[in-house]
Structure 1
Amino acid sequence: MAKKQLMLLASLMLVLSVFLAACTGKDDKDGATEKEPSKDPGKETEEVEEGEEEPADDASSELDFPMDVSNTSAAVKDGEMTIAMVTDTPFEGTLSRVFYSGTFDADIMSYFDEGLLSTDGDYLITNDGAAEYEISDDNKTITIKIKDGVNWQDGEPVKASDLLYSYQLLGHPDYAGTRYTFMIENVEGMPAYHNGETKEISGITVSEDDKEISITYTEATPSLLSGIWTVPSPRHHYGDVMTGELTMEELVESDKIRVNPIGFGPYKVAKIVPGESVLYERFDGYWRGEPALKELVLKVVSSASILEALKKGDIDIASVPVDQYLKAKDIDNIELLAKVDLAYTYIGFKLGKWDEAKKENVTDPNAKLADKRVRQAMWYAMDNETIGKELYHGLRFPATSLIVPVFAGFHNADIEAPSYDPEKAKALLDEAGFVDTNGDGFREDAEGNEFVLNFASMSGGETAEPIAQFYMQNWADVGIKVQLTDGRLHEFNSFYDMVEADDPKIDIYQGAWGTGSDPDPSGLYGRTAAFNYTRFTSEKNDELLAAGTSEKSFDTEYRKDIYNQWQELMVDEVPVAPTVYRYALTAVSERVVNYSIDSNTDLWLYEMGVSE
């Protein structure tokens, strides 16, 4: 069977090679780009050689990648660096943590903006950042005090009321973004403020000197340590929505966010070429000290040209399309760093709608894929291991759970999740009454009606189309007819516009999530989570998600048990079928110093530099 699947992949790559040369899109290494639902701060491939039928080199036996650069030289003064955003789609340019949605905008902000509290290797808050914190004995109140010398890049001091402003924006009745999540709603008085019943958030107080802010929560939760929002918004720069100076919509579209944003990070934005590049200059007033680089350029580079740009030395740091790994490792002037990522790719099943009035997901009991046995069968039908090994050289591996392996304490490595088993898939479909009644090779539904699923997937990179076609063939092999929505792949932005709008043309879709640093999955799968694109809800899901962030969950063993139960629930219900976890592969020029992708590193961004 593995040989058959490999032949199918090789054939697809060959047949589609001409077509794919013209594909564009904001692509991810799996043909699916992750949106970023982070609670706080939080791509591509290459063609298989024609006629190649032997398995590609498997990197699985050599996945001992470094996470730090090997160059230990001192950083030169006034160095310059160029970093690539590897994508075939312009970045959106919504440069505010409150309002952005895409991962590339997050990348842009990471160089000029940051949270007041830093985090350690386990993504737990520390006192090493621009502020220090204390938590009350009842674990319901956190007090954050901003350190001296922390200034915005226009010279104004960062104030506690700037962090309050973020909460006022996130909870505002007119807020149309996706970050009104549990840790925002849990602030005492926030629901009343969010519903327009009051102009104040009773659970937040700011000291008279504007250096200290206290936030009190309705429920004590361990997510306070990993999911608290600590990114302030510069009220003096944005303008004040609270006084009616401007509307929320005007703020989102303003130049203060899209053209000349400010933060208090190590580099300040000097110039933006919309959708293409950002030029940064060193922020001499950065609170940690003088950054090593004088200038930094972040620019869009297509997946097709990134290796050539690395060879020429035009790019110092870039993510590497995983199917270009074999060529990338032969480039002399770079080194490859990699680690298991806070992300996964998945197949989502549309099960309902978003109720805008109630701001919650509503599951339709009569949805086309309401029978979970059909969803389970589709997961059993997918050969994710072949995808990971043959297209991604072992740098992708089958996903089993919606809590990623990086969260080692909560990821259930022993869970009995579906793996490739076409016969099991067929048995489940038979049990559900989905059988081929007219002899055309495809099953009708339990009522004998034609059963065809419309599948939305993203364009971009040379594996996007082959992977989509591969999964469609997997499903066809067990008798399920699947066709691409509109007969084609969709560009990143239009794809997510359709998914978010619950477009009736979509029955299933392939997406990817960057999970954020908090293991709590409620921001993606909760009843009120706007990112819950499948619209799956259940009382048991509500119960477990609430328990996972309850005061009891300060007991790690209790929380682990709750999340084991939740992972088992999601394997049984299958609102989404996770397909692969991934190693994030980064190419770094040999001249780069003080750079690491290790979350446990002692290095800070401002120390990153070049040795020549």
Structure 2
Amino acid sequence: MKNKLKKFISLFAGMLLLVSCGDVNGGKPTSEENINTTEIEAKYPAAFKTDGDVVQIDSLKVGIVFSSPFKGIFNGFLYSSSIDEDFMKYTMDGAFPTNDDFTLVLDSDETPIKVTVNPEEKTVTYKINPKFKWSNGDPVTTKDIVKTYEIFANQDYIASSTSTRFNKGRRMIVGIEEYNEGKADKISGLEVIDDSTMKIHLKEITPSVYWGGNFASEFVNAKQFEGVPMDKIIESPALRRSPLSYGPYYIKDMVQGEKVIFEANPYYYKGEPKIKRIEMEVLPPSQQVAAIKSGKYDIIFNPELNIFPEIEELNNINILTRKALYFSYLGFHLGKWNTEKNEVVTNPNSKMYDINLRRAMAYAIDDDALAKQFYHGLAMRAKSPLAPVFPLLHDPQIDGFKIDIEKAKKLLDDAGYKDVDGDGIREDKDGKPFKINLAMMSGSEIQEPLSQYYIQQWKSIGLNVELVDGRLLDFNNFYDRLRADDPAIDCFFAAFGFSSDPQQVSLFGKNSQFNKSRYTSETLENALNAQISPEAMDETKRIEIYHNYEKVFMDELPVVPQMNRIEYLVVNKRVKAFDWTYDPKADGFDWSMLEVTASKPIVDER
């Protein structure tokens, strides 16, 4: 690993040398985007199936590459950390299957919940499948659905959990705002017909209805939360240690922050899983390659992109790829979160508010070169904030930021950031020393050289940028400080996973906790709200709305889009079949169907 790190640093040193020597084609981009993600996806498809004979085993091991302990909020809707979702996604979740365009499967008697939309009534009807049961044998009922809504829309819960789920899309439910404000003790728009049938009344029918963006995507068991005060739910055993599950597995035991042992759910609606136990644990990045070679795990989630060439050579694994619902970005501290109003308050006097300063920082970074040299064709420059899995919504005229050092310098000159004392570092507009504090996460072995690359690039345009606290921050510390609007942070590199609903009100709207830059404007808010308007039901109009949103976003630049990526999954060759497509076609594959063809994981024999 030390040799590999030296290699990374030397590669970055080469890039820095190009900049310091002025070899940037007169300020023009130094690299072109020649990454063909289609070739990678064709070479490593998202599903496979072998002909080997099935061997019975008691347990299967799963590793999740992560540099910090998991938080352990075990509900597929109330969680706040992506690693918690990794633990639950295929074991405990699955209330709403989706199509390959991420829309909800409608009017199907085979799904856990039959969903029917009535645009004239402005209602969505749920009919719960009688086979849909919790891991204790109790049926999933409308009480469970109502309880979920009552939790995430409750002010005491929101205040105690820094919840991000009560967003503008879900405010479309009739009566939910009155409940949130304490003016009603129930949500009037949740019409319970009986234990298995209910109607959800909406103010408007918008595209989010069909993508599920107005609704809770998973549910809690109401009985488990009886008598638990709303402000204590986030720490309750029902959420942290022993939540019931309606997925193929339920939590049997755990080592907090490190490992979860799942047991097969005998009441799973598709039938009891074939493998009785799943052991899932955090795998430190430094151990991932050795673990893959030795067959320590049957499945490994989140392997880092920088190890891809090394594991491509291994003969004991199958590699599966797909376009990730992923977006990394450079964010800026532009305001604060108002807890009382649950909204962003932007500060026009904040250090990073000047749009030319933000644009200059964007033009100083060569994301195309980073994608090629460090992510091996599995990442590509993000051209806008939209998910690339929705290509029709993207305006091809918008192409993101390509490196242009001279343009970056001119933007700073025009904005009034001048080098007053001739030391190569710019002062602020008043001629005073100007320092920018950057927050970055630790974890991957390339994070340190990456941080140094960014700092050097910004130095080349005259900006003095330093790491917050002089070091990289642990994942949990990083996000805790962002949520708290730590004034020590001026800018930061972060990422999030897109939802299956393409609307971005829940990411960048003024009422969204995910809006970590704390930026809002009337123009941006209008462009966001248009995405969840009735007018967006028309496909032509919807495309026009998203094109306008991209233009507004890139003009105002609350964050700088950095990377989209291809994600990959490592599966040991003893696993008989696996379907990782977003719409599994292999007999409705899920983890209840996992089987193996050898009694022990296969080891790399080279």
Distance 2:382 2:486 in 1: 27
CA distance in 2, matches of 1:98, 1:129: 19
The equivalent position to 2:74 in structure 1, one of 95, 101, 116, is: 95
Quote how far apart the aligned CAs of 1:145 are. Answer: 0.2
Q: 1:30 — aligned with what?
A: none
Q: 1:213 aligns with which of 198, 223, 227?
A: 198
Q: CA deviation at 1:490?
A: 0.4
Match of 1:150 among 132, 135, 142: 132
Residue 183 (structure 1) aligned to one of 169, 190, 209? 169
Contact kept in structure 2, 1:377 and 1:428, CA below 8 Å: yes
Percent same amino acid among aligned pairs?
Answer: 33
Deviation at 1:132, TM superposition (A): 0.5
Q: For 1:237, what is the secondary structure of its paired residue?
A: helix
Alignment correspondent of 2:564: 581
Name the TM-score, length of structure 2 as normaliser.
Answer: 0.89
Residue 80 of structure 1 deviates from its aligned partner by 2.8
Is the alpha carbon distance of 1:139 and 1:568 closer, same or farther for their aligned partners in structure 2, counting shifts above 3 Å? farther
User: Corresponding residue for 2:597?
Assistant: 611
Cα distance, 1:7 vs structure 2: 9.9
**Secondary structure at 1:201 match in 2:** coil
User: Is 2:285 aligned against 1:303?
Assistant: yes
- Map 1:27-66; keep pairs closer than 5 Å: 62-63=39-40, 64=42, 65-66=44-45
Matched, 1:350 2:333: yes
TM-score, normalization: structure 1?
0.88
1:388 match: 371
For residues 243-392 of structure 1, what are the structure 2 equivalents within 5 Å?
245-318=227-300, 319-392=302-375
> How far did 1:61 drift?
9.0
Say whether the 8 Å CA contact 1:329–1:335 is kept in structure 2: no
RMSD over equivalenced CA pairs, Å:
2.0
- Sort the Cα spacing of 1:73 and 1:557 in 2 relative to 1 into closer, same or farther, 3 A: farther
Q: Distance in 2 between matches of 1:211 and 1:570?
A: 43
2:220 corresponding residue in structure 1 = 233
Match of 2:118 in 1: 136
CA distance in 1, matches of 2:172, 2:181: 14
What secondary structure sits across from 1:144 in the alignment? strand
- Matched residue SS, 1:511: strand
- Please say if residues 157 and 233 of structure 2, whose CA atoms lie closer than 8 Å, have aligned partners that are also in contact: no
SS in 2 for 1:278: strand
Unmatched 5+ residue regions in structure 1? 1-5, 15-56, 240-244
1:124 alignment counterpart = 103
Residue 92 (structure 1) shift: 0.8
Q: Segments of 4+ in structure 1 off by > 3 A? A: 6-9, 11-14, 57-62, 72-79
Bigger shift: residues 140-149 or 601-610 = 601-610
Q: Which structure exhibits the higher relative contact order, with contacts defined as CA atoms closer than 8 Å and separated by 6 or more residues? A: 1
Instruction: Say whether residues 1:160 and 2:142 are aligned partners.
Output: yes
Higher mean displacement: 79-88 or 364-373: 79-88
> Does the CA contact (< 8 Å) of 2:169 and 2:505 recur in 1?
no
How many residue pairs get matched?
Answer: 559
Which residue number in structure 2 is paired with residue 108 of structure 1?
A: 87
Quickly say closer, same or farther: Cα 1:390–1:462, change in 2 above 3 A.
Answer: same
Alpha-carbon spacing, 1:75–1:143, altered in 2? closer, same or farther (3 Å) = farther
1:10 maps to what in 2?
10
> Match of 2:492, as an amino acid?
Y
Cα distance in 2 between the residues matched to 1:74 and 1:146: 37
Q: What is the CA-CA distance between 1:381 and the residue it aligns to?
A: 0.8
User: Which residue of the partner structure matches residue 496 of structure 1?
Assistant: 479
- Judged with a 3 Å threshold, the aligned counterparts in structure 2 of structure 1 residues 292 and 139 are, in CA distance, closer, same or farther, namely farther
The DSSP-based 3-state class of the residue aligned with 2:563 is strand
Residue identity opposite 1:100 in structure 2: Y
CA distance in 1, matches of 2:35, 2:164: 39
Q: Output one character per residue of 1:352-400: Cα deviation in whole Å (capped at 9) or x when no partner.
A: 1111111100111111111111111111111111111111112111111
Deviation at 1:431, TM superposition (A): 1.2
The 2-side partners of 1:7 and 1:328 are apart by 17
2:77 counterpart of 1:69? no
Could you tell me which amino acid in structure 2 is paired with residue 281 of structure 1? E
Check conservation: 1:117, 1:130, Cα contact below 8 A.
yes
Q: 1:285–1:471: structure 2 CA closer, same or farther, 3 Å change rule?
A: same
Displacement of 1:344: 1.3
Change (3 A) 1:375 1:130: same
- Asked whether the 8 Å contact 1:81–1:609 carries over to 2, the reply is no
Contact persistence 2:169–2:532 (CA under 8 A): no
Q: CA deviation at 1:430?
A: 1.2
Equivalent pair of 1:79/1:610 in contact (CA under 8 Å): no
- My pick for the range that moved more, 596-605 or 360-369, is 596-605
Give the deviation of 1:475 after TM superposition: 0.9
- Contact 1:72 1:594 (8 Å CA) reproduced: no
1:601 to 564, 579, 584: 584
Deviation string, structure 1 residues 477-496 (Cα, Å, up to 9, x no partner): 11111000111110000100
2:189 aligns with one of 191, 203, 206: 203
| DSSP-derived class of the 2:48 partner | coil
How far, CA to CA, are the matches of 2:584 and 2:237 in structure 1?
A: 35
Out of 434, 444, 455, which is 2:417 matched to? 434
Correspondent of 2:179 among 173, 189, 193: 193
Kindly provide the CA deviation profile for residues 43-75 of structure 1, in whole angstroms up to 9, marking residues without a partner as x.
xxxxxxxxxxxxxx9986952321112424465
- Any idea what the Cα deviations from partners look like across 1:297-331, whole Å, max 9, x if unmatched? 11111111112112111111113211111111111
Question: Shift in Å at residue 476 of structure 1?
Answer: 0.8
Specify whether residues 73 and 132 from structure 1 end up closer, same or farther in structure 2 by C-alpha distance, changes over 3 A only.
Answer: farther
Q: In the alignment, what sits opposite 1:84?
A: 63
Alpha-carbon shift at residue 412 of structure 1 (Å)? 3.0
Residue identity opposite 2:275 in structure 1: L
1:539 aligns with 2:525: no
Change (3 A) 1:59 1:440: same
- Pair 573,471 (structure 1): closer, same or farther in 2 beyond 3 Å: same
Q: Which runs of 5+ in 2 are unaligned?
A: 1-5, 15-33, 599-606
Contact 2:117 2:124 in 1 (8 A): yes
The question of whether the paired residues in 2 share the 8 Å contact of 1:400 and 1:415 is answered with yes
